[in-house]
Each structure stands twice: as structure tokens, then as C-alpha cells.
């Protein structure tokens, strides 16, 4: 009887999944205790490996055998090897002939990073795989990132445009449209474990990019999808009370509406399960030593609430794309103090301003003038709120705003350049931002991310391709052409220097010491690399002599 009960416990996750067949389940839910054992015992050095595995046979049979076989002398690593196909190796390993010309290398690399359509009526359910099928071709970033990623794709598309890959750009826009129609939002990536969150909302800029190639009819075609994405980010805005937050929406004491990053789930991330488990347990153990409560039940509740809160902030930071960065830390140094969902990010709200502006433009093109005016007013209201809460006239820079503390962040980050990219800043604010950025963020290899050395990858000394593009276009928008050229020159030179030495384009670069590699974060630096490729080609078009 004990053995039967044990087997039932291993099969229980499958019974729960069967009750909700319309919701693709994460590996954590599909494999239950097997998943926890694999991740916490560190069978793979990268927690993302197991969540990307596919079962060699029926999941139910695997789980039954696991319940029967587990015990003294059981070899978990061999069991996994016998029952699961490991994800394929990074595609770059198969691409071993680097060209001398970086641009030519990138154009050849697109075919290596391209994934064929994996969608058919027969694979609607994931059948134990975490991959979410898409109807059209797409580009993956590279390395351990074997799926499409939302905000990465905009910067990849910049390079696809310069490579004449219009059809591929349109296929990717169609894929994101399919996702927003299917899931109600565009997930972080096309994996089941990414479904609880989105990513920086660049979809309307993808539409704008495609419209620049194919004409204004593109706005009309993708207007419904842009509106659905907007509804996702603004859900709850009609019922939220002043001084509170609800999902992605924050309503400040004066009635101002702005947005935050927020993940609907508060469990440990399947793709970083061991890392998140160790962090949350260290936080709750430290808390347990400090507090005194009346009963064990009360202590358990407090600690569980703390676990959920830490997980919420971790997941919300991943939605931001800046995972992880001191801009989310209460003490600007330690991941254990993460507070992402308390913060109103300046970059997110600039992107939502652009979404409102693009919806307004699309509606005007469609002939919906009254509705166009409504969205234009929403954009103007957001612009005023960003200038009120994020601009610091003393420091001459744009900052995040901490809604919980009712005060601005004190940290200068490259996110403060988004108001120039979105054309929200006044000319005098742009001039002040330029001076502050040159003083604090401009490094030998390009624009830095922050000035904090925390060991996190979205902090010093690292620089990232999307932030170079945002800063360069932002300064160009205000006639700061020499600063834009200098950033581009330094970044392109660093890309080319590393490529000459390694034959690779990297996910991120050390912009402070151009003779050292980038690092930090929860995984090794990846090569490939989608958004680096895209920004490189786009910058070479803007600055051919650099």
C-alpha cells in the first residue's frame, strides 16, 4: 500500500494537468518530484538544461517508473539520460569558419540561428516538451537560448532589415501576433515556463520597423494585436485605487497611472530553480533568526509570504530583461534585497508611451480619428507623468521611481536614456542627460549599464547591444550626433576586437576594460548572438566609416 501511495504522489501532477488541458504546463508541474530532485541535486550545471529536455517516451510511463525505482542505490543521472533527450548543443559549435568581415559573418549566421516553423494541429499540447510551437520561422539569440525571445527580437530585426530579410521580419511579427492572440500577451520566450510574464514591450516598434519597409498598411494589419498587448499591460487600470499597485499598473497618490514589471507567478522559476531556491532559503533563514512570533504556524506563514515576495521580485526582474541589476536592489548591491515590483521603471513607461503613440497612429491611418485622439491623450498623460516622477533637475538625469518609498532611485543607469529614445525629453533635459551620461556611463567600449560592480550581468563592467542602440538613437533624436558617433565607434571597435580574437559575437561585453571578458550573472556569457548581430549591422549602416 505504501508503494502504491508513493506512485500516486509522483503521478499526481499529471492528474492536475489533465484537468486543465488548455493550459500548457511547465516542467515543474509535469514532472513534480522528479523535477525538484533533478534541479536541486544539480544533475546539470545549467538549470535551464532539464527544462529544455524532451521525453523519449510517454510522460506517464516515466513518472510511474520513477516512483517504482527511486530508492537506495538509484542513479538519478542515468535515469534522466535514459528517459530524456538533451537539448541540442549551441548552434555556433557547428559553425566553425569565421569570416574576416564581421558583417558577412552575421549574414551567414542568420541561417544558423533560424528555426523552422514547429507548429501543427497535432502539437498543440506540449507532450512533455516546454517548447511553445510557433507558426512561422524565427531567429533565436544563440547559445543556451534555443527559443525566440521577445525584446531581443526587435534588435535582431534591425540587422535582418539590413540583410534584406523582410520576409523573416514579417514572420516574426506574425509569430508575436499569434502569441498575443493565443496567450493574451507576448511571453518572455516561447517556452511554457515563460508564460507567466512578458518582456519589455517592443512589439509596436517591430510593427513600426516593418511599416517602414512595407508601408502604412502594416499599422492597420497589426492594430488589433497592439491593442491586445496594451490591454495586457493596463489590466486593472479601471479599478485600481490610489496609492496601490495591481498587476502591471501602479496608481500613485495623486491619481497618476504608470506601470511596473510584474510576474503573475510567485513560485521558483523552473529554468533557474536551484539558484532561486538557494537564494530564497537564505533570505527566509536570515529572517527566521531575526523575528519573534507567537506560534510556529505564524512563523511558517511569514516565511512563506517572504518566499513568494522574493520570487515575485526575481520573476519581475526577468520580465524587465535586466536580470539581474542593482537598479532592482534596495541596497544597490545584493540580490537578496531585490524589490523590482516596487519600482516604476523609466524605460518600461517610455516603451508604453511609444505603444500608445503607435496605436494612435494606427487608428488614424485606419480612419478611427476619435479613438486615435484618445490614445494620443493617454500618451501625453504618460509623458507628463514620466517627466514629473522620473526627471531629476538637480542631477540632470532620468531615474526610476520607487512607488513603495515614494521617492526616486538614486542610481544612474542606462535606462535613463530611454526618454531621449522615445522623444519625451525637452531639449534642455536632453542636454543635461547627455552631460551626465558622458560623465558617468560612457566607457572605453561604449555605453555602460550601471556603475555598480555587484557581480550581476546587468551591472558594471558590462555593456549590452540594445542599450547602445537606445542611447545612440536617443542622442541622434536631439542632434547630439557627435556623442552618438562616439558611442557607436567605441562599441563597434570592441565588437570587432573580440571577433578578431575569437571569431564570435557575444551576448554582452566588458566596456570598462576592453581587454577582459564580460561576466556575472547565473550562466556563462553566450555567443551567437541575435541582438548583438542586429545592432552591429544597423550601426554599420548609420556609421559606415566607424
Q: How many angstroms separate the CA atoms of 527 and 524, rounded?
A: 10
- The strand pair at 401-402 and 462-463 is best described as unpaired
Closest to 409 (Cα-Cα) out of 421, 426, 391? 391
pLDDT in tens, 95-124: 545 788 999 999 999 998 999 876 543 444
Catalytic residue among 323, 400, 411, 486: 323
Report how far apart, in Å, the C-alpha atoms of 388 and of each of 245, 258, 377, 391 are: 19, 11, 16, 6
Q: How many angstroms separate the CA atoms of 478 and 471, rounded?
A: 11
Is the CB of residue 452 less than 8 Å from the CB of residue 460? yes
pLDDT given for residue 123 in this prediction: 45
Q: How many angstroms separate the CA atoms of 200 and 186, rounded?
A: 10
pLDDT given for residue 117 in this prediction: 75
Q: How many angstroms separate the CA atoms of 196 and 201, rounded?
A: 15
Our CA angle for 208, 211, 215, nearest 5°, is: 150
- The strand pair at 401-402 and 244-246 is best described as unpaired
pLDDT given for residue 55 in this prediction: 96
pLDDT given for residue 23 in this prediction: 63
Is the CB of residue 466 less than 8 Å from the CB of residue 351? no
Q: Where are the alpha helices (DSSP H) in 123-189?
A: 150-162, 166-183
pLDDT in tens, 447-476: 999 999 999 999 999 999 999 999 999 999
Quick check: is 507 catalytic? yes
Grid cell in block for residue 78 = 542515468
Residues in the chain, pLDDT under 70: 1-23, 90-97, 118-126, 546
First to last CA, the chain: 74
Q: How many angstroms separate the CA atoms of 149 and 321, rounded?
A: 10
Is the CB of residue 518 less than 8 Å from the CB of residue 525? yes
Asked if the bond preceding 324 is cis, omega within 30° of 0, the reply is yes
- Compute φ and ψ for 289, nearest 5 degrees: -75, -20
C-alpha dihedral over 205, 209, 215, 217, to 10 degrees?
-30
Taking the alpha carbons of 315, 24, 186, 234 in that order, is the dihedral positive or negative?
negative
Catalytic residue among 229, 459, 507, 527: 507
Quick check: is 118 catalytic? no
Amino acid at each position: 500500500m505504501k508503494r502504491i501511495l508513493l506512485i500516486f504522489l509522483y503521478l499526481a501532477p499529471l492528474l492536475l494537468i489533465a484537468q486543465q488541458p488548455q493550459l500548457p504546463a511547465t516542467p515543474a508541474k509535469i514532472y513534480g518530484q522528479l523535477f525538484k530532485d533533478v534541479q536541486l541535486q544539480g544533475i546539470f550545471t545549467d538549470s535551464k538544461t532539464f527544462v529544455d529536455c524532451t521525453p523519449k517516451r510517454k510522460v506517464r510511463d516515466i513518472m510511474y517508473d520513477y516512483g517504482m525505482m527511486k530508492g537506495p542505490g538509484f542513479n538519478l543521472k542515468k535515469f534522466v539520460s535514459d528517459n530524456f533527450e538533451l537539448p541540442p548543443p549551441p548552434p555556433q559549435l557547428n559553425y566553425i569558419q569565421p569570416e574576416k568581415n564581421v558583417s558577412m559573418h552575421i549574414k551567414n549566421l542568420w541561417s544558423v540561428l533560424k528555426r523552422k516553423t514547429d507548429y501543427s494541429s497535432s502539437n498543440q499540447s506540449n507532450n512533455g516538451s516546454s517548447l511553445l510551437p510557433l507558426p512561422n520561422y524565427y531567429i533565436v539569440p544563440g547559445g543556451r537560448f534555443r527559443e525566440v525571445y521577445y525584446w531581443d527580437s526587435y534588435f535582431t530585426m534591425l540587422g535582418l532589415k539590413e540583410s534584406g530579410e523582410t520576409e523573416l521580419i514579417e514572420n516574426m511579427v506574425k509569430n508575436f501576433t499569434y502569441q498575443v492572440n493565443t496567450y493574451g500577451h507576448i511571453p518572455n520566450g516561447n517556452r511554457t515556463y515563460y508564460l507567466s510574464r512578458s518582456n519589455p514591450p517592443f512589439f509596436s516598434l517591430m510593427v513600426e520597423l516593418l511599416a517602414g519597409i512595407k508601408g502604412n498598411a502594416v499599422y492597420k494589419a497589426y492594430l488589433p494585436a497592439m491593442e491586445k498587448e496594451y490591454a495586457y499591460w493596463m489590466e486593472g487600470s479601471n479599478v485600481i485605487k490610489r496609492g496601490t499597485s495591481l498587476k502591471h499598473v501602479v496608481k500613485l497618490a495623486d491619481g497618476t497611472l504608470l506601470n511596473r514589471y510584474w510576474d503573475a507567478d510567485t513560485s521558483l522559476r523552473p529554468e533557474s530553480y536551484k539558484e532561486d531556491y538557494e537564494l530564497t532559503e537564505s533570505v527566509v533563514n536570515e529572517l527566521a533568526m531575526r523575528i519573534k512570533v507567537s506560534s510556529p504556524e505564524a512563523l511558517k506563514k511569514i516565511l512563506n509570504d517572504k518566499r513568494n515576495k522574493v520570487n515575485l521580485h526575481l520573476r519581475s526582474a526577468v520580465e524587465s530583461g535586466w536580470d539581474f541589476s542593482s537598479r532592482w536592489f534596495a541596497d544597490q548591491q545584493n540580490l537578496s534585497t531585490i524589490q523590482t515590483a516596487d519600482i516604476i521603471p523609466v524605460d518600461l513607461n517610455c516603451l508604453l508611451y511609444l505603444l500608445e503613440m503607435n496605436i494612435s497612429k494606427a487608428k488614424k491611418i485606419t480612419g478611427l480619428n476619435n479613438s486615435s485622439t484618445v490614445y494620443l491623450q493617454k500618451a501625453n498623460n504618460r509623458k507628463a507623468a514620466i517627466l514629473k516622477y522620473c526627471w531629476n533637475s538637480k542631477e540632470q538625469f532620468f531615474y526610476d521611481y520607487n512607488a513603495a518609498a515614494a521617492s526616486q532611485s538614486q542610481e544612474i543607469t542606462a535606462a535613463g536614456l530611454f526618454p531621449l529614445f522615445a522623444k519625451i525629453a525637452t531639449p534642455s533635459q536632453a542636454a543635461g542627460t547627455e552631460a551626465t551620461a558622458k560623465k558617468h556611463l560612457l566607457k572605453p567600449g561604449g555605453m555602460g549599464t550601471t556603475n555598480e560592480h555587484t557581480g550581476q550581468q546587468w551591472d558594471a563592467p558590462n555593456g549590452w547591444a540594445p542599450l547602445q542602440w537606445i542611447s545612440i538613437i536617443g542622442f541622434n533624436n536631439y542632434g547630439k550626433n557627435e556623442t552618438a558617433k562616439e558611442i557607436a565607434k567605441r562599441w563597434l571597435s570592441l565588437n570587432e576586437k573580440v571577433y578578431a580574437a575569437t571569431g564570435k559575437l557575444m551576448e554582452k561585453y566588458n566596456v570598462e576594460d576592453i581587454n577582459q571578458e564580460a561576466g556575472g550573472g547565473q550562466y556563462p556569457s553566450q555567443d551567437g548572438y541575435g541582438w548583438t548581430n542586429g545592432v552591429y549591422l544597423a550601426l554599420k549602416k548609420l556609421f559606415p566609416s566607424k
